[in-house]
Amino acid sequence: MSPIREEVLRDENLIRSLEEIAKDTALLNGVLMRTKETPNSPELVSYAPFTLFPTPVPTALFYQALAVQTHFNRLVDRVSQNPTFLEDTLASTIKVDDFTARLFSIFKQVHQECQSQPIVLGLNRSDYMLDQNPDGGTSLKQIEINTIAASFGGLASQTPDVHRHILKVANMLDECDHILDNNPAAGLARGLAKAWELYGSERAVVMFLVEDIQRNIYDHRYVENELWKNNIPVVRRRFEDVCRTGSLDQQKRLFVNGQEIAIVYFRNGYMPQNYTSEQSWEARLMMERSLAVKCPDISTHLAGTKKVQQELAWPGVLERFFPDEPETVAQIRATFAGLYTLDKGEEGDKTVAMALANPDQYVLKPQREGGGNNIYGKEICEVLENTKSSSERTAYILMDKIQPRPVQNYLLRPGAPLKLNSCLSELGVFGAYVRKGNDMVFNECVGHLLRTKSSEHADGGVAAGVAVLDNPLLV
């Protein structure tokens, strides 16, 4: 099995006919987003952007990413249970990053109150790129792990059939067999269902905490509908709704709009602009203090920061979390790219000098989720020249820039002309886990996501309008 053949990619008549079929097939399969013009209306929708052809991914690296996911689930959970590690790791960051500092102050308050909810739910996505080695091979390197609002589990569940149909029409029947079934929506819902069941009240609902603008609502709906199939009630509420109608009773049960909340599933709250007022922060604190299961709770949210990612890469740190599991440590560490501290001191000074000497070899990362935040090339020099003598630099970490091999493909977007692009892809792997007290009662790798973008774009995801949905074609 090889990449899509050159003669197929350059057959203009075939590509034109496939374009229309592909768009119709995406709509038939529910690969949908609302439009920019009417983001909150179900009256007008279009297909979510996607690639015309699936992208080749080496089979061994694909399965390596799947195999390590349950270990990453346990790692995130263990980090979240270690307040000393979080405090020490984030000490420099919270002095200069207001958003992380606000999250951290909620974490401290909840920790001091000895929060009594024993059920923890994590729905994560670990993202990777395939790095070209000097010897010509490729290796799997982790970009980041998303512990809050990890998206596209719903739409990724629908895309395999779209690409299979396109390949059949293009008379590429052998390739169809190399696209795997994939249903992260069902797997994420299994985690939510387990936590709801453990909460123990059939009247209580799962609350998706959502943004005011909801273009990507169908991605959520697939997970919601899996829960409804099991008679688990779901509501969608915004921060404003929680501010207006939220309350805790004497047992610290959370009520919003008169309904008891079993789970707060944060699909919002991961960026500073999500908190539009002091009331938003008060609502976050109230939810964290409540008996509702939080996905993620505040400590798991902090465990997903870039600074924690960088700290875990130091020699000997993973061993603290897996003291008797050398194989687990080796599997996790094999996915790490070079990660470097910018803390004040000798190590941080070395990192600054290294980045200024060869900025194109690195990525400068702030403590942010949501895509489009990273800094590249000469902009790294501008930021570091301005901050190298101040503690402001500790708001960032530095990471080796992954060098994937570009692949030719067409990106289908509403309103955009179709052209052959040089593309780069990122593989995401979804994990779900539920812990009750000290017992991990559910821990699974629940599916995957491939996103692809034109190689002219350094950064940005599907929701940011840069990447498009894709499928791995195992080779």
**Tokens 């960088």 identify what position?**
310
- CA 421-416-158 angle, to 5 degrees, is 80
Tally Cβ neighbours within 10 Å of residue 353: 11
pLDDT at 427: 98
Tally Cβ neighbours within 10 Å of residue 195: 29
- Calculate the alpha carbon distances from 105 to 58, 110, 252, 279 in Å: 43, 9, 20, 15
φ, ψ of residue 447 in degrees (nearest 5): 150, -175
Tally Cβ neighbours within 10 Å of residue 191: 27
pLDDT at 1: 44
Sign of the four-CA dihedral 79, 81, 84, 86: positive
Please give the positions annotated as active site: 125, 144, 146, 151, 306, 365, 369-370, 451
- Calculate the alpha carbon distances from 447 to 158, 262, 320, 336, 389 in Å: 12, 25, 28, 21, 44
Instruction: Tell me how far apart the alpha carbons of residues 237 and 325 are, in angstroms, rounded to a whole number.
Output: 42
- Calculate the alpha carbon distances from 464 to 193, 202, 356 in Å: 30, 37, 28
Give the predicted TM-score (pTM) of the model. Answer: 0.95
Tally Cβ neighbours within 10 Å of residue 450: 24
pLDDT, averaged in runs of 10, over the chain (475 residues): 77 95 98 95 96 97 98 98 97 94 97 85 98 91 96 98 97 94 98 98 97 95 98 98 97 97 98 96 97 98 96 97 98 96 92 93 86 86 90 92 94 94 96 97 98 79 77 97
In the chain, what are the domains? 6-337+402-474 (no CATH), 339-401 (3.30.1490.50)
Cβ proximity of 364 and 374 under 8 Å: yes
